[in-house]
A and B are shown apart, each in its own frame.
Chain A
């Protein structure tokens, strides 16, 4: 693409930015660089911190920690009205008491442009500023309105416009000031599907016409894939992966990204050697190496990368049975049960439900990801004999020798040591299910506690996202270590 080959200079650098609202950390130590002229999308589920990050770039929220640089200068503490950055708000935020023209001209009427210099008596030079003239404002407003395709709407009252038109006014109002960076906070969220598709193309066109850096926030992965040069996938206030849409789709960095972007078959596997992965009791060739022997990994196979062949064929890696087949316009989407796992397969060749098939995946269709982490680790406090106080709950655990009440301990909880209960009151503490990913033979569930910590749990049961559950620990599988007090105290 031509527009990617701009002079690669960073326009925005975010370094170790953290934002906490009281006890909740919305953005957790995020570092990110954005190049001039790029179309960057912050993508993630709601509550992942993407909007908070955008608001910090705009200046509405101040980071608790960290720095934001704009073209090399620190703007972290600079108020929004002093930043050459403009925002298109989620619900447009048009001024209802002004006309379309009045809305677009709002920033121009405040703007002061350089107007020569004046020599002061003491010899120093003072920069003079002036307002824009009426004619200048009119010309700029009309140009901005024609860019968004609302040339004839200047006199209209904004409250009489449709959602899509209001959206365009909001964009015109932001771009008329020729900002260095344009921020868009889920700008298409309130539009219907058809309108949204149209505006996606329009925004893309405006981006290449104006040459302004766009930072776009959305939870819609398809929108992100179609529009962006670079996607920043976020979850739990942290960046999960940064890359081009293709890279993020083809090589997701972890199970969260793979699950969030596009459809995928996610399986738990082991690297038995370089270029060899074992999952569901079959060994398959892959293109990945450098893992420890038998390291457990997550395996992603995209539905379109699975080839359905004859059951007897030599290259069939697994055999399965088709349990459903739906025609989706240009391809069939089929569910195939093989080795106890339900594979989703997309293919232009539909097979009949009930027929036996062989499955084949070429090595480049298999993507291996490191596990996000191997165990849950918490810091707790010994709370009497065989009791550990952590996450605001008293857990019955075996304490090592020499640990006394009040000592700090590190608790290692393997994923299979957690027991979830339907009734919150049956568990020692309660939590919210935030993620549930099927990994071939079990579900990996993420449970957020009320103390804002999270447990990853391997379980054979399926849990619904947003359900309240109770958390118990299997005592025999948990290890507790004493944390040595820091000596420099």
Chain B
């Protein structure tokens, strides 16, 4: 007696390879590297000193003014770094995107090249150069230089991509309709590059906020950021505290991201790099 055909068909269907099966390795990867660690983080954050569920870790954060101060200070430093990067990168990106000035991609490559070297190595190199060689004091200024140097390519690249892909005839159309070069910049180039600015800002602001290597190497005690704080908690064995702080940081960063996406969407342009984050 053979098996009923229905069961056979089901079996066959279950065994045939479908396109959706390609996603399985990625689902596994996602579970191992994202879902499980987040779960552990969440677990640690809500475990009190006596190994029971509690909000003690969060209470500790919010009841100590210096924690909140450090968090705000980190945000300030990150914002300042982002603004400096933007102001430096925007004119440069415009030059690089202008085919009359920049005739090859090699120039762009030169500016992005540092991204290929590990950031820790670069930071130590900068420390050697600025502090050991030129005798600069460790502190806020040195840390800021380090941060800007480190994250500059992340601002430049999205800006360059957006500006290089912009339709040049729009600039000509603006001139044609009577706008001067300055008016054209504010009325056409700038609004159309908002997606690039947005992704540049996100790619600099978010990692700067949680950084600790650069600020510690270049700034020392002067630039105590939330990243260093979490690092110290971990080194001191306070897993619960560090998990809670990380979670707060995560929520803050996610909030910033959501906000900026909202702003970018309000601008109406759906082209460019804005959607990549």
Contacts and interface: CB of A to CB of B under 8 A. Distances in A.
Contacts of B183: 110
Which secondary structure dominates where chain B touches chain A?
helix
Which 5 residue pairs of A and B lie closest in terms of their CB atoms, listed nearest first? A107-B177, A93-B169, A93-B173, A80-B175, A110-B178
Given A93-B169, A93-B173, A107 B271 contact: no
B187 A106 contact: yes
Contacts of B178: 81, 107, 110-111, 177
Contacts of A96: 192, 269, 271
A162 B176 CA distance: 23
Contacts of A177: 177-178
A157 B270 CA distance: 13
Contacts of B170: 93, 95
Interface of B: 167, 169-170, 172-180, 183, 187-188, 191-192, 267-269, 271
Contacts of A90: 169
A79 B175 contact: yes
Nearest to B172: A60
Contacts of B269: 96-97
Contacts of B271: 96
29 contacts: A60-B175, A79-B175, A81-B176, A81-B178, A81-B179, A87-B172, A89-B169, A90-B169, A91-B169, A93-B167, A93-B172, A93-B173, A95-B170, A95-B174, A95-B188, A96-B192, A96-B269, A97-B191, A97-B192, A97-B267, A106-B179, A106-B187, A110-B177, A110-B183, A173-B173, A173-B177, A174-B176, A177-B177, A177-B178
Contacts of A60: 172, 175-176
The winner among B167, B172, B177 for most chain A CB atoms within 10 A is B177
Interface residues of A, number: 25
A86 B191 contact: no
A458 to B, nearest CB: 42
Contacts of A345: none
Given A96-B269, A97-B192, A107-B179, 17 more contacts: A80-B175, A89-B172, A90-B169, A93-B169, A93-B172, A95-B188, A95-B192, A97-B269, A106-B179, A107-B177, A110-B177, A110-B179, A110-B183, A157-B268, A173-B173, A174-B177, A177-B177
Contacts of B268: 97, 157
A87 B170 CA distance: 12
A58 interface: yes
Given A93-B169, A97-B268, A97-B269, A80 B188 contact: no
Contact of A86 (B167, B177, B179, B180): B177
A81 B180 contact: yes
Contacts of A106: 174, 177, 179, 187
The winner among A58, A107, A157, A173 for most chain B CB atoms within 10 A is A107
Contacts of A59: 175
A168 B183 CA distance: 25
Nearest to B188: A95
Contacts of B179: 81, 106-107, 110
A14 B18 CA distance: 68
A92 to B, nearest CB: 9
A90 B168 CA distance: 13
B173 A87 contact: yes
